[in-house]
Amino acid sequence: MSDRQFRGIWIPVHIWETSDLTAAERCLWAEIDSFTSNNGNGYYKTNQQASEELGVSQRQVSRAFAKLESMGLITLTKKGVRRVAKSTPWQDVLDSVASNPRHDGEVSSPQWRGIKNKEKNNIKHNKNTLVYAIDGEEMIELWNVWKRERKAFVKGTYTPYAQQKAMNKLQKLCNEDIEQARKIVDQSITNAWKTFYPIREDFAKNRVKLDAEQALKWAAGE
C-alpha cells in the first residue's frame, strides 16, 4: 500500500468528535482515511489484519465496517476478491476550518453537516442498513419489540436514521451483552422513554453510601 497518505499518528478532528462511534470504530475510520486519496487505491486490509491491529474481534471489525458504511462515512467496493474501503471526502472542509483558528490558538471544530446529511440520505433510501448492537435473532426480536412498544408513547415516525442513532447508544450501554440490552430496553418501555439510559441499579451501585453520623457531623460543621 505505497499510496498511503500518512498524516501522522493522530485522529482527524471530525473523526474524533463523531460521538456515535466506539473507540475502535474511530481508529478504523482514521486508518481507512489515511489510505484514502484522489489517486489512491484505498484500504485493502482484511478483517483479520484489522482485528490484530485494533485489538478487537473480527466480528467487531465486520460490524464496524458495516456501521461506517451505513452512516455514509466510508464507501466499500470490490476489486477482484479484495474489499476496498475509502473515507468520505472531508479535506476541503478541514482546510477551511484550519485557516480559522480560535482565539486560544486551537483549531475550531468543523460543522460536519455534509457528512450528517449523507448519513441521513444513505439510510433513508436503504431500509436494510440498520447495524444491530449485537448479532443474532435475539437482538432483532428485541428491537422489534422496542419499536412496537415505543409507538404507544412516542408520536411521529421512527426513521431509520433515528433508529441507528438509538442502536449505537444501546450498543455502548450494553457492551454487546444481550441480557443487559434487554434490561435497558425494558427499562425504557416501563418508563415510557423515547431513548435509552443506563440501568438505574447501576447508578445505585456506584453511588457513595453516606454514613448518617458523618452526615450529622458535616451538617453541624464539625
Q: Which residue has the higher pLDDT, 52 or 105?
A: 52
pLDDT for residue 190 is more than 90: yes
Give the pLDDT band of residue 9 (cuts 50, 70, 90): low
Give the per-residue pLDDT at 21.
Answer: 87
Question: In whole numbers, what is the pLDDT of the chain averaged over residues?
Answer: 77
**DSSP assignment string, 154-184:** --S---HHHHHHHHHHHHHHHTT-HHHHHHH
Give the per-residue pLDDT at 20.
Answer: 82
Give the per-residue pLDDT at 98.
Answer: 44
Q: What is the pLDDT of residues 47-63, one digit of tens each?
A: 999 999 999 999 899 99
Give the pLDDT band of residue 7 (cuts 50, 70, 90): low
